């Protein structure tokens, strides 16, 4: 029909459409009889449904933030790297705005590397405050992984630009911290603040391991991030432990 926009142009319009524009796109092309356009309308409806479902999920993730919000600044705390054979343990702390509209936050282990990187940038931009702390492999060997994790968490709290009024922690209660704490089992999948902290910790640590890989490529740190894969264990057998390996962890493997 004369005057109709080409299907390729309609497709480009959908690809460029922000979420708020999807209802008008659906209304605009809903009566277009062309099969190709109707397929694009269905795609728009599915995208809108996914976004609405994700928004509802994020509202559920704010339950603890709403419950404890009257206390003041609510801070999520989580760690990355308790299990690897090499590299530091890293902790993240995140205070998000009460009207936080970030979509996609979840337990960092449930997200792709690309998605974690995207969310990392958004969290840094929109958070009220973020903090990172870490404990070296040598410190882990000196005081054990649990105590080193607590130490990294305390550092993350201290590195916040805003003092939190309450801490939401992933499953633990951090010693030597006077701020009230709420340990939440599987908190990184139940609290938006803890989920954000887990992303900060995971991305920070993964980036560090990629940098270590450039210095010591024989171990494959960029691929396995220091975890005990068969490739990693074989590399340790061939080249011996590096300066970032946790000696206390290797004792359990190389007896």
Q: How many domains does the chain have?
A: 2
Question: At 3, is the pLDDT very low, low, confident or very high (cuts 50, 70, 90)?
Answer: low
pTM of the complete model:
0.86
In the predicted structure, residue 95 carries a pLDDT above the cut 80? yes
Tell me, yes or no, whether 226 lies in a domain: no
Verify that 136 and 90 share a domain, yes or no: yes
- Give residue 31's domain range: 7-61
pLDDT at 97 over 50: yes
Say if 68 falls within a structural domain.
Answer: no
Rounded Cα gap, residues 130 and 19, in angstroms? 28
Do residue 91 and residue 155 come from a single domain?
A: yes
What is the CATH number for 155? Answer: 3.30.420.10
pLDDT above 90 (res 49): no
User: Rounded to an integer, what distance in angstroms lies between the CA atom of residue 208 and that of residue 190?
Assistant: 27
User: Per residue in 169-180, pLDDT tens?
Assistant: 999 999 999 999
Assigned domain for 215 exists: no
Whether residue 105 lies inside any domain: the answer is yes
Is the domain of 81 the same as that of 196? yes
Going from the C-alpha of 91 to that of each of 122, 125, 219, 239, the distances in angstroms are 18, 19, 24, 29
Same domain, 29 and 121: no
Residue 106 and residue 24 share a domain = no
In the chain, pLDDT over 70 holds for what percent of residues?
A: 98
Residue 171 lies in a domain: yes
Q: Is residue 1 part of a domain?
A: no
Domain check: are 83 and 190 in the same one?
yes
Co-location of 136 and 85 in the same domain: yes
């Amino acid at each position: 029909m004369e005057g109709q926009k080409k299907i390729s142009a309609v497709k480009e319009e959908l690809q460029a459409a922000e979420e708020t524009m999807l209802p008008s796109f659906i209304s605009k092309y809903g009566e277009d009889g062309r099969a190709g356009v109707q397929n694009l309308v269905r795609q728009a409806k599915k995208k809108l449904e996914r976004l609405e479902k994700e928004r509802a999920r994020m509202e559920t993730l704010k339950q603890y933030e709403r419950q404890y919000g009257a206390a003041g600044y609510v801070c999520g705390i989580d760690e990355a790297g308790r299990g690897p054979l090499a590299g530091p343990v890293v902790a993240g702390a995140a205070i998000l705005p009460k009207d936080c509209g970030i979509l996609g936050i979840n337990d960092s282990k449930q997200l792709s590397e690309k998605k974690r990187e995207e969310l990392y940038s958004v969290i840094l931009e929109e958070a009220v405050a973020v903090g990172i702390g870490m404990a070296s492999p040598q410190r882990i060997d000196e005081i054990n992984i649990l105590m080193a994790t607590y130490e990294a968490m305390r550092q993350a709290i201290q590195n916040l630009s805003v003092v939190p009024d309450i801490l939401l922690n992933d499953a633990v209660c951090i010693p030597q911290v006077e701020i009230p704490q709420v340990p939440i089992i599987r908190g990184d999948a139940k609290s938006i603040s803890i989920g954000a902290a887990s992303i900060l910790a995971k991305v920070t640590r993964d980036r560090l391991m990629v940098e270590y890989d450039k210095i010591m490529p024989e171990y494959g740190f960029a691929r396995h991030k220091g975890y005990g894969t068969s490739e990693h264990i074989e590399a340790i057998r061939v080249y011996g432990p590096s300066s970032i390996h946790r000696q206390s962890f290797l004792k359990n493997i190389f007896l």
